[in-house]
Chains A and B, each alone.
Chain A
Amino acid sequence: MRRLTTLVSAAALILSLGGMVHANGSFPDPTGAVLLTITDPDAGEKIALDRAGLESLPRRSFETTTIWTEGVKTFEGVPLSAILNRMGISEGKVRLTAVNDYSVEIPVEEVLQNDPLIADLVDGQEMSLRDKGPLWLVYPYDSDTRYQNETFFARSIWQLNRLEAHK
């Protein structure tokens, strides 16, 4: 699967080098496998982000344990707020949906307050679908007990692949 993903990514890179750039001003057009599909109903457009697209955004990392894994892990990725910023969204709600259709909705306001990370690397490794990849929304649980409750646990959506935001 990982190999497949690598291949898809490489193909996407080749395609992007071929000048097939999407006419989206905010995000670069995907050339590899699409990791995240962003829907903005107000703008009436769909944006697909591949790994490169994600890497073009501001990145951040932190260490923490989670209740679903074993041991301390380093999570690296894009803060959800950065995506919302790029989309120009500062209010309303953001809906996140996983491959298995698990879905959560977070008020934008709270996103800005707590700023969860859309992690694409765990301990420097990409995550496969079997390892809750490719994207996992995580909070720095160990940094503050306020993250250690059901609300934040429920929002910690893994196998994330869709994002819908509306003002």
Chain B
Amino acid sequence: MLTPHRTETRRLTWLRPALFGLAVLILIGLIGLLAMDLARKLDKLDRATSDNVEWQLSQMEVEYLGLVDVLENTRTAADLPELRRNFDIFYSRISTFREGMMFDGLRQAPGFSVTLDKLAGTLDHFVPAIDGPDSALLAALPEIRAEFRSHRPTIRQTALNGMVYFAERSDETRNSIAATLERVSAVTAGLIAALVGLVFVLWHFYRRAQFHSREAESSGARMTAVVETAPDGVIIADLGGVIRDFNDAAQRIFGYDRSEVIGRPMAETIVPQDARAAHEAGMKRFVETGEARIVGRGPVTVTARRKNGEEFPLELSLSTSHDAEGGAIVISFVRDITHRVAAEQELRVARDTALAGQRAKDRLLTVMSHEMRTPLNGMLATLELLEETGLNDRQRRYASIIGHSGETLLSHVNDVLDISRIDSGAETQTASTQIMDFGAIVRDIVDEQSALAQRNGSRVLADLPKATTVRGDPAALRRIFANLVGNAVKFTQNGRIEVSADRLGSSDMVEFRIKDTGLGIAPEDCARIFDDFVSLDASYGRSTSGTGLGLGIVQRLVRKLGGEITLDSKLGEGSLFRVRLPLPSAAEPAAARVAPAAPATPPVRIVTSEPLRILVVEDNEINRLVVREMLETIGHSVTEAVDGIDGVQAAAARRYDLVLMDISMPRLDGVEATRRIRSGGGASCSAPIVALTANALPHEAANFRAAGMNDTVTKPISRKSLQRALDLATGRGGAPAAHRPKDGSGPVNLAQLDELRGEIGQARLEQMFGLFRSEADATVAWLSDAPAHGVPAAEALAAVHKLAGSAAVFGARSLHAHLSELDNMAKLGQLDQACARLPEISPIWADTVAAYECIDSLAPRRAARIAASG
């Protein structure tokens, strides 16, 4: 409670008495001065410097008259003593006037001194006569008589002069006294005023004191009421821990009656046995050092003890104060938090249970999806093998349905896995930013979706800016557009799907717009369309099929990338999805980082390549079977290992050209197995090792490489993916990110194909492509054998010319180039040389076919089926 303003108040209360004391001192000083002044004045009045001068003056006249009277009546010598006595008395009187200090002033009065001198002269003149013999004195009597008689008016005048002088002196004195009295009364008035002021000040202090005392009284009463009625327990104890007060709430909490605890130490009553030592140590520390661990630190939770011995959690706040006698006291505010603690515990348990349940569900979902996918992959791969076993049309149709259904199922499972992976944060952790070309991604997706769009009678168009090289996460971007464009294609019949992009000013944001003229979405559905498992229009949903997770994935990805997605749609008119993503522009040209496969050398020569010894390390039996079948079909020899340990042993025992390594396996996983193979120094320690994994995330791929793996092949295993692994083994690989050749390089010109698709539509393209492929297969086979069968050069070269034309139409760049060259040689008459190079056609065609199989829109299985039927 010792707040700064309190100390200020204290300073003020200290100041006031000091000022008051000063005022009193000043007043006392003033009173002292006044008293001294008065004393001086009174003293002055007290010391009369004059006798009664009027009396003296009248005595002078009386004595003069007495002398004159005696003079008149002196006849004989017997009268002379009387005369002499009167003379002497008058003489004495005049001497007194002339000499006395009291008559200094009077002597200054005009004419007085002259008169006195004259009288003194007369007196002195007659002294010899007076002191002489009686006879002489009697003789001188007439002269003396006449002389003194003549002084009568002078005496009278002298007396009057003296009277006037003394009247003036008296006035002066009176005035002086009046002035003094005036001063005295002024000072007295001042004194009275000061006293009145003092009284007022005292009254003011008295009122304040009274107010404060009332205030203190009422605040004391209020405090008592507050303490008594407080919902929290209040315990007041001294520094010895002895309880001084114990309010109602404390009685309820602890079960003690006030009278039972007051005067007893807290340690014996409310502190549990095993906390007493700590309690006493704390109190001791506080008393000795003033160091408080709990005081003023806000509420802490401690264990307390009720009267019945029950221990319970207590919330405790401490503060210190002083009692009326100034002794330190400790005030404890306590609250029984038994219920709260119990409720919190209950909530915590409930939350933990719920979280555990949610986690278990998520885990179940993930595990289930994963466990579903593995057999599904096996099914699809086996189906691929099955389709190559010479099925009749009906069987092929059924197999195709199984294939479609299986792929749909796989995509659903992948969706679920994606959602749980994004939600678990895996995507964020690995959201990589790398230099990439979003234009290429969008075009790829547009290409991929064009086939389906054509089946619905729709077209997909892309309108992209020139600068499309940015920093971003290409995998996420690919997923976003695959879903959005896929959706648009799905819900648009005989319409248009436009994908456009623009950079917003010079910012990092790029806005993508995916616009369709499809069904559209009702306004009330626009918000929930991004929710998980939302599929609008069940009937249409059936025909289009979907988990309803696609937009959920899109929205999650967009948010993870720091972007936003909005939807603008009108039912029946179409939808417009806007995606804004931060994709800072990158200066490097796109060609620099999307490293295409070495363009000069056709990448795939599966059929003609030398048979390779391949070790397949895979715990899943179906997958092993599928891989073995695929590889053996194309002439390689395969050794199987059922787990990592098995694999490491096999790799040590023999030199393999390639090791295909599954990642998750019992006993020893692929990463660790690779590490051991690389460091083991066995026969295959330097063989290319390719990871087989279902969902390789970028950081995992980095892990794999760190362990010594050369590349990663993503399941489901297909010929396509195997080709990459084989390319690696034969030294033609090295372009893991771009297994599909791009425009301007590679055996197939995609732009050419796109153009053709634009002209004739997807369906027709596929149909025509099938014919082209059958024709090419047959022609190439025939030409390869032509020299041996003695086919005339001109006839063979005519076939070359014809095939060159078809190759140009379908963008078979390498094949076209080679055939054109032979054609040109023939035209130049170099028939023999041209015929000698006919066998080169076959491998080029094989590369080209491989390239065609990588083009999604041409549907590899379809191509394979066409090839098989051919």
A154–B50 Cα distance when bound, in Å, is: 10
A1 touches B84 (CB 8 A): yes
- Our pick among A132, A146, A154 for the contact of B92 (Cβ within 8 Å) is A132
Among the interface residues B59, B66, B88, B95, which one has the most CB atoms of the partner chain A within 10 A?
B88
A67–B48 Cα distance when bound, in Å, is: 10
A159–B91 Cα distance when bound, in Å, is: 12
A150–B46 Cα distance when bound, in Å, is: 9
A12–B679 Cα distance when bound, in Å, is: 170
A129–B87 Cα distance when bound, in Å, is: 10
A68-B101, A70-B101 known; A154 vs B51 contact (CB < 8 Å): yes
Task: Give residues 80-113 of A contacting B (CB, 8 Å).
Answer: 99-100, 102
A67 touches B88 (CB 8 A): no
- Our pick among B51, B92, B101 for the contact of A130 (Cβ within 8 Å) is B92
Task: Give residues 103-141 of A contacting B (CB, 8 Å).
Answer: 128-132
B89 touches A153 (CB 8 A): no
A99 touches B95 (CB 8 A): no
A1-B84, A130-B95 known; A67 vs B47 contact (CB < 8 Å): no
B49 within 8 A of A: yes
- Our pick among A1, A102, A129, A148 for the contact of B47 (Cβ within 8 Å) is A148
A150-B52, A159-B92 known; A67 vs B59 contact (CB < 8 Å): no
Residues of B within 8 A of A159 (CB): 89, 92
A69 touches B101 (CB 8 A): yes
A131–B91 Cα distance when bound, in Å, is: 8
Residues of A within 8 A of B89 (CB): 99-100, 129, 159
A129 touches B48 (CB 8 A): no
A67 touches B91 (CB 8 A): no
- Our pick among A102, A129, A154 for the contact of B85 (Cβ within 8 Å) is A129
B759 within 8 A of A: no
A129 touches B92 (CB 8 A): yes
Residues of B within 8 A of A16 (CB): none
User: Whole-angstrom distance from the CB of B318 to the nearest CB of chain A?
Assistant: 76
A132–B91 Cα distance when bound, in Å, is: 10
A1-B131, A67-B101 known; A150 vs B92 contact (CB < 8 Å): no
0/1 string, B96-122, CB within 8 A of A gives 1: 100111100000000000000000000
A1-B88, A65-B101 known; A132 vs B48 contact (CB < 8 Å): no
The main secondary structure of chain A at its interface with chain B is loop
B88 touches A129 (CB 8 A): yes
A68–B618 Cα distance when bound, in Å, is: 155
Task: Give residues 116-143 of B contacting A (CB, 8 Å).
Answer: 131
B131 touches A68 (CB 8 A): no
A100 touches B95 (CB 8 A): no
A1–B63 Cα distance when bound, in Å, is: 19
B99 touches A70 (CB 8 A): yes
B524 within 8 A of A: no
B274 within 8 A of A: no
Among the interface residues A66, A67, A102, which one has the most CB atoms of the partner chain B within 10 A?
A67
Residues of B within 8 A of A154 (CB): 51-52
- A-B pairs with beta carbons under 8 Å apart, 26 shown: A1-B131, A66-B100, A67-B50, A67-B51, A67-B100, A67-B101, A67-B102, A68-B100, A68-B101, A69-B99, A99-B85, A100-B59, A102-B59, A128-B88, A129-B88, A129-B89, A130-B91, A131-B92, A131-B95, A132-B96, A145-B47, A146-B46, A148-B46, A148-B49, A150-B48, A154-B51
